[in-house]
Structure 1
Amino acid sequence: MSASLTVVDHPLVRHKVALLRDRAAAPATFRRTMRELGALLLYEATRPLPLAETDIETPLERGRFPTLAEVPCFVSILRAGNGLIDGMLDMLPDASVGHIGLYRDHETLEAIEYYFRIPDDIARRPVLVADPMLATGHSAAAALSRLKQAGARRISFVCVLAAPEGARRLAETHPDVPVIAAALDRGLNDKGYILPGLGDAGDRTYGTL
């Protein structure tokens, strides 16, 4: 597997992923857990961000302390990506958010774009792209290509589950983009769904099964 893939092997992350896999989990439980994972995965995804010394006055004295030198931009691949973005915004509420609407052609499994709206300053910011599932990798690769066309240069991709097929596709098409995942699953079925997986993340998030 590509060195660009990081699987966050932490007990709390693994526990939350197991909760998402449970087919009996109600939409409210699924949404809450997805949001929590967004915050947990952000911890790893922001590890490379630079810090700057800032003058701060504590209750006892004044000093210089490290703060983020720049706030990243989040980009959600609609609609399931919003579940992760909510947790990321809990941690960095000042981040701006872009949205890319893609759907998968069920015959070809190719990604078809229907919406694209991103912040104007995306070329100057680190960008974190969120989609719970990295399955075939078609949607992720298409989203990353569009962002690069718009000027984005420092991009990371954050997901809950990755399939080896999707991880390989991103390693081939966007080797410069680190992938942060909560779990690497076995593979895909004949319809392009991740196994053992957790089903359709968008439908389970919004109760549209």
Structure 2
Amino acid sequence: MNKVTVVDHPLVQHKLTLMRDKNRSTKGFRQLLHEIGMLLCYEVTRDLPLEMTEIETPLQTMMAPQIGGKKLVFAPILRAGLGFVDGMLELVPSARVAHIGLYRDPATLTAVEYYFKAPEDVAERLVVIIDPMLATANSAIAAVDRLKERGVTNMRFVCLLAAPEGVAKFHAHHPEVGIWTASIDSHLNDHGYIVPGLGDAGDRMFGTK
């Protein structure tokens, strides 16, 4: 678990509790996902490199820090990962956005790709892959595999909830990719859902349950 960061900030934990409530409305769930995505983004970008630049304040010229290098890329796994994007872009409005379309085959639980679009120079950027749930990890592994095919070497994975089985499987395939999550829950059930979890994040966010 040395490559896993559990974000235990009180605001994150409070909002996660509200989201777990099965009676939370679609609107409320979506708003909370937006807010918690912003807070998780704050944590996953904590160690971005800084460079000094000369600016002029109303009083004098000074050297001040700003984020260095190329703009990072947020890569939501469709469709549930979209719930994080707007909140993260509020913090990092200049970030690029890639889209990775994967769905989980209900019979085999394997990930099937149906769409992929990323910046041409994605290999030169830090890519933050986002998906609310790290359950079986099949989609997360497939997303990293696809990005590696494009030459990406600097990646981080952000999720709302993770299962121990998913964390172990993900790092068995991609041990160098760090995970940021609000909680590591108890286990997966026979249908590949995180327990106690919060249900299907995509269905709850879009009102399709």
Q: TM-score, normalised by structure 1?
A: 0.97
Cα shift at 1:28 = 1.1
Determine the structure 2 residue equivalent to 1:109: 109
Matched to 1:65, the amino acid is A
Q: C-alpha distance in 2, partners of 1:73/1:184?
A: 25
Runs of 4+ in 1 over 3 A off after TM superposition: none
Q: Does 1:35 align with 2:46?
A: no
For residues 10-58 of structure 1, give each alpha carbon's deviation from its aligned partner in whole angstroms, at most 9, with x where no partner exists: 1111001111101111111111110111110111111221001121222
Determine the structure 2 residue equivalent to 1:83: 83
Determine the structure 2 residue equivalent to 1:14: 13
For residues 61-96 of structure 1, give each alpha carbon's deviation from its aligned partner in whole angstroms, at most 9, with x where no partner exists: 221111110321110100000111111001011111
Q: C-alpha distance in 2, partners of 1:24/1:59?
A: 51
Matched to 2:35, the amino acid is E
Q: C-alpha distance in 2, partners of 1:198/1:90?
A: 25
Q: Residue 56 of structure 1 aligns to a residue in which SS?
A: strand
For residues 105-145 of structure 1, give each alpha carbon's deviation from its aligned partner in whole angstroms, at most 9, with x where no partner exists: 11111101110111111111111000000001000001000
Matched to 1:20, the amino acid is M
Q: C-alpha distance in 2, partners of 1:153/1:56?
A: 33
Cα shift at 1:151 = 1.1
Q: How does 1:8-157 map to 2 (within 5 A)?
A: 8-70=7-69, 71-157=71-157
Structure 1 unaligned regions, length at least 5:
none
Q: Residue 18 of structure 2 aligns to a residue in which SS?
A: helix
Q: Residue 23 of structure 1 aligns to a residue in which SS?
A: coil
Paired positions, count? 208
**CA RMSD of the aligned region, Å?**
0.8
Q: C-alpha distance in 1, partners of 2:118/2:186?
A: 33
Q: Residue 112 of structure 2 aligns to a residue in which SS?
A: strand
Q: C-alpha distance in 2, partners of 1:142/1:188?
A: 19
Q: C-alpha distance in 1, partners of 2:175/2:47?
A: 17
Determine the structure 2 residue equivalent to 1:188: 188
Q: C-alpha distance in 1, partners of 2:129/2:96?
A: 12
Q: Residue 52 of structure 1 aligns to a residue in which SS?
A: strand
Q: Residue 35 of structure 2 aligns to a residue in which SS?
A: helix
Q: C-alpha distance in 2, partners of 1:41/1:123?
A: 23
Determine the structure 2 residue equivalent to 1:208: 208
Determine the structure 1 residue equivalent to 2:4: 5
Q: Does 1:173 align with 2:173?
A: yes
Q: TM-score, normalised by structure 2?
A: 0.97
Matched to 2:110, the amino acid is E
Q: C-alpha distance in 2, partners of 1:37/1:55?
A: 34
